[in-house]
Amino acid sequence: MTNKIYPWFKREDIDGFFALFQNNLANFVLIAVSMISMGFPSSIVYGRVIPGAAISVMFGNLYYAHMAGKLAKKENRTDVTALSYGISTPVMFIYLFGVLRPALELTGNPETAWKIAMAACLLGGVVEALGSVLGKWVHKHLPRASMLGALAGVAFAFIGGELFFKTFEMPIVGMLVLAIILIGLVTKRPMPFKIPASLFAIIIGTTLSYAIGQSDVSKITEGLSTVGFYLPLPTLGFIEGFSYLTSTMAGLFAILLPISIYNFIETMNNVEAMAAAGDSYDVQEAQLFDGVGTIVGSLFGGVFPTTVYIASIGSKWMNAGRGYSILNGVVFLVASTFGIIAAMSKIIPIAVISPILVFVGISMVSQTFASVEKKHFPAVVLAMFPYFANYIMTRFNGPAGDVVKNLSSGIVPLGQGAMFTGLIWGAILVFIIDNKYYSAAIAAVAGAFLSAVGFMHAPKLGLFFDYQYFVGYIVMAIFFVGYKFSFDVKESDSTVVLGALKASVEEK
C-alpha cells in the first residue's frame, strides 16, 4: 500500500486558521477589557499576560499539529484535522473573577495579584496534566451521549447563545457577517474572489461598521497606539505567588481544584467529539500536553489555563488539516509580541467576531446529535440543561440575585458544577434507556459523592453544603437497584417502550 503524504498546509487551513484565531482573539479581548477595568495596568496585561498566553498557545498548537501528523501516518490518511487549542472560555471567567479580582482586592497591588494568578495557573496545569492518568478510564466508562451532551450545553449557552446575542448588538453589521458565515462555513459555498469565508466576513463586517458609524474611528487610532514590542520573557514570579496561595489565599484551592478537573474533562469531551467526527486522538496524551502547555505559559507570565477547544469540530467541518494549527500558533505569538493583538482587540468590533463563534456552537451541537444513537438523544438534551442554569447563574446571580432566586431557587445549585451535573445525569439516562439500572445506580452514587464534597450543587468545596442533594442521589440509587430487582425490565422491553413513544409522537 502506498503511503499517502499528509500536507503541511492546504487551502482549507486558511478558514480554519481565521476561525481559531478569532476564537482566541475574542477571549483576549475579554481578558484585556476585564483586567484593565479591574485596575491592572496595560504593561502587565499587554506586556506580560498576553505574551505569556501566546507562548502557551504556540506550544499547544505546534504539539497538536505534531499529533495530527502521527495520526495521519498511523492511519495512512490525508484528511486528519489537528485539535484546536487555546484558552478555555468558562475557565477564563473563573480565573478573571475568582482568582485575579480577589487577589487584587486582597493585596491592592496589581503585580502581586498577577504573580498569585501565575501560581494558580501553574497549579492548574499540574492538576490538568495529572488528570491524564484518569483520562482513559473515564473516557472508557462514561457514555458518549453524557460527555458530548454536557459539552453541547457549553456550546449552546456560552458560545453559540451568548455570541448570538452579541451578534445582534450591531444588527446591520452582525446579521450580514452571520449570513456570510452561514453561507461560507455551513453550506461551504465560495465567497467572491475565493476569499476564505472567515476572512471575507471580518473584512466586510469591520469595514461596514466604520462606514455606517457603528464603530468610532477613534478606535483605530486607539488600537494603533498599542502597537509596540512586548517580548515574552520567562519569570519566576509564581514563586512569590505560591507564598500567598499557601497562606492568606489558601481558600483559592477550593476554586482551583474543581476548575482544573473541569478543564481536563473538557479536553476529554472535545477529544471524544473529534473521535465521533472521524479523528481518534489519544485522550491521555491530549490531557497531559494541555497541562504542559498551561505550565509553559505560566512560566512566561500567563495566568489562564489552556485546553483542547470545542472549535475542533468546526475546523473538522471546514476540512482543515494541521497547517491552520501551526499558523495560528506562530501568528498569535508574532501578533502578541508586536502589540497587534492589542490593536485588533480595539479595532475589530465584537459583533464581527461573534458570528464565527456562533458557527462553532452550531457545529458542536449538531455534531453531538449526529454522533450518538437516536435512542440516546434524550440523554444529550438532559445533559445540556445544567449549563443553561449555569449561564443564568454566572450572568445574572451577582447583579440580580433576587430575580434569579425568585425565578427558581434551583437555578444556582443546578448551575454550580454544571459540567459534573451534566455528565452524571446524561449517564444516568443513557443507562436507564439501555436497561442498565445497576450502572445508573453507580452513576447516582457518584453524584452523591460529588455533591457531598462540593463539586456539584455547592459554591465551594466542603462537606455537605446542602445534604438534600446527597440524600436525593442516594435515594435514586436505591430506587434503581430496587426497580431492577423487582421488575427486571429486559432491554428488548425498553426498546418497545421507546418505539411506542416515538409512534405516539409521530401520530400526534
pLDDT of residue 258: 62
Q: Is a pLDDT exceeding 70 seen at residue 136?
A: no
Report in angstroms the alpha-carbon separations of 312 from 21, 121, 163, 270, 304.
12, 23, 18, 7, 19
- Phi–psi pair at 351, nearest 5 degrees: -65, -20
**Percentage of the residues of the chain whose pLDDT score is greater than 70:** 91
pLDDT of residue 437: 94
3-state secondary structure of 232: coil
pLDDT of residue 147: 80
Report in angstroms the alpha-carbon separations of 189 from 118, 184, 198, 204, 328.
44, 5, 12, 17, 24
pLDDT of residue 313: 82
pLDDT of residue 452: 95
Mean pLDDT of the chain: 86
Please give the sequence-ordered ranges of beta strands (E in DSSP) within 247-293, or none if there are none: none
Report in angstroms the alpha-carbon separations of 208 from 35, 345, 355.
29, 17, 15
Query: Which residues lie below 8 Å from residue 105, measured CB to CB, with a gap of 6+?
Result: none
What is the rounded CA–CA span in Å between residue 206 and residue 347? 8
Query: Which residues lie below 8 Å from residue 57, measured CB to CB, with a gap of 6+?
Result: 24, 85, 86, 87, 293, 297, 306, 328, 329, 332, 333
Residue 64: pLDDT band with limits 50, 70, 90: very high
What is the rounded CA–CA span in Å between residue 342 and residue 29? 8
Q: Is a pLDDT exceeding 90 seen at residue 405?
A: no
Which range is least confidently modeled, 88-97, 389-398, 429-438, 465-474? 88-97
pLDDT of residue 492: 46
* Grid cell for residue 71: 495520526
pLDDT of residue 497: 46
Residue 433: pLDDT band with limits 50, 70, 90: very high
- Which residue did the predictor score with more confidence, 136 or 358? 358
**Percentage of the residues of the chain whose pLDDT score is greater than 90:** 41
Query: Which residues lie below 8 Å from residue 123, measured CB to CB, with a gap of 6+?
Result: 245, 256, 260
What is the rounded CA–CA span in Å between residue 427 and residue 425? 5
pLDDT of residue 40: 93
Number of other residues whose CB lies within 10 A of the CB of residue 3: 7
pLDDT of residue 135: 62
Residue 53: pLDDT band with limits 50, 70, 90: very high
376, containing H or E segment:
none
pLDDT of residue 490: 58
- pTM value? 0.71
Q: With beta carbons less than 8 A apart as the criterion, state whether 346 and 130 touch.
A: no
pLDDT of residue 303: 93
- Phi–psi pair at 308, nearest 5 degrees: -65, 135
H-assigned helices in 397-466: 401-407, 411-415, 418-433, 437-453
pLDDT, tens digit, 9 for 90 and up, residues 316-357:
888 899 999 999 999 889 988 998 878 887 888 888 888 887
Q: With beta carbons less than 8 A apart as the criterion, state whether 205 and 176 touch.
A: yes
CA dihedral 444, 445, 447, 451 (to 10 degrees): 140
pLDDT of residue 18: 80
Which range is least confidently modeled, 127-131, 136-140, 240-244, 328-332? 136-140
Please report where in the chains the cell 427558581 appears, as a residue: 408
Q: With beta carbons less than 8 A apart as the criterion, state whether 353 and 28 touch.
A: no
pLDDT, tens digit, 9 for 90 and up, residues 264-301:
777 887 888 888 888 999 888 988 999 999 999 999 99
Please report where in the chains the cell 477529544 appears, as a residue: 271
pLDDT of residue 495: 52
Mean pLDDT along residues 302-321 = 85
Residue 72: pLDDT band with limits 50, 70, 90: very high
Q: Per residue in 446-458, is it b (16+ CB within 10 Å) or e — as a string?
A: bbbebbbbbbbbb
pLDDT of residue 225: 87
pLDDT, tens digit, 9 for 90 and up, residues 156-182:
887 788 889 989 999 999 999 999 999
pLDDT of residue 309: 80
Q: Is a pLDDT exceeding 80 seen at residue 222?
A: yes
Point out which residues pair with 307 in neighbouring strands. 86
pLDDT, tens digit, 9 for 90 and up, residues 444-501:
999 999 999 988 998 877 899 999 999 999 999 999 999 998 886 554 455 544 555 5
